[in-house]
Amino acid sequence: MRFKTAAVAITALLMTTSCHHATVDDRAEKEAREYTERYCPTPESDMQSMDSIHFDRDTHTFTYHYKLLGAADDPKVIDKIQAKVRTALLEDLVSNTGTKLYKDHNFVFHYIFRSKSTRKILFEERFTAKDYNKKKRAR
């Protein structure tokens, strides 16, 4: 009789707590907001600084907003190194264990790099599961 009572109590507890679990979207939105509030803008390093991270529930997209400064704050320079920047971003995304949950749910990762001086977009890239899973398999 005690076992049955305990089983019912445990089941009731699990049912009430499972209703309060955050969805992956809830977690993504919270993590993006909290990172931005705590750390952004990040200190300027390697001619860049992160301004914010935004999560869009409708498209399951993380958008990372960066500003470029110094020698990188030049459209001609960025044009010359676009392929290298894309490759570096994708390799970092593939190897980043902190984004595993979101990659497992096929989220999109969108990067926007703006000029610090003009605020114009100098480089923009979007990676989908097709991109990062293909790169992962190629390793």
Per-residue pLDDT of the chain (139 residues; tens, 9 = 90+): 444 444 444 544 444 444 456 899 999 999 999 999 999 999 999 999 999 999 999 999 999 999 999 999 999 999 999 999 999 999 999 999 999 999 999 999 999 999 999 999 999 999 999 999 986 666 5
- pLDDT (0 to 100) of residue 134: 83
Q: Write down how long the chain is.
A: 139
pLDDT of the residue at 52:
98
Long-range CB pairs of 116-119, under 8 A, 24+ apart, other chains included: 116/49, 116/67, 116/68, 116/69, 116/73, 117/69, 117/73
Three-state SS for the chain is CHHHHHHHHHHHHHHHHHCCCCCHHHHHHHHHHHHHHHHCCCCCECCEEEEEEEEECCCCEEEEEEEECHHHCCHHHHHHHHHHHHHHHHHHHHHCHHHHHHHHCCCEEEEEEEECCCCCEEEEEEECHHHHHHHHHHC
The predicted pLDDT at position 118 comes to 96
Structure tokens at 83: 């392929």
So what's the pLDDT on residue 87? 96
Q: So what's the pLDDT on residue 29?
A: 97
Spell out the domain ranges in the chain. 23-138
Q: Which CATH code is given to the segment(s) 23-138? A: 3.30.300.250
Regarding pTM above 0.85, the answer is no
Backbone φ and ψ of 67, nearest 5°: -120, 145
**Could you give the CA distance from residue 102 to residue 104 in angstroms, rounded to a whole number?**
5
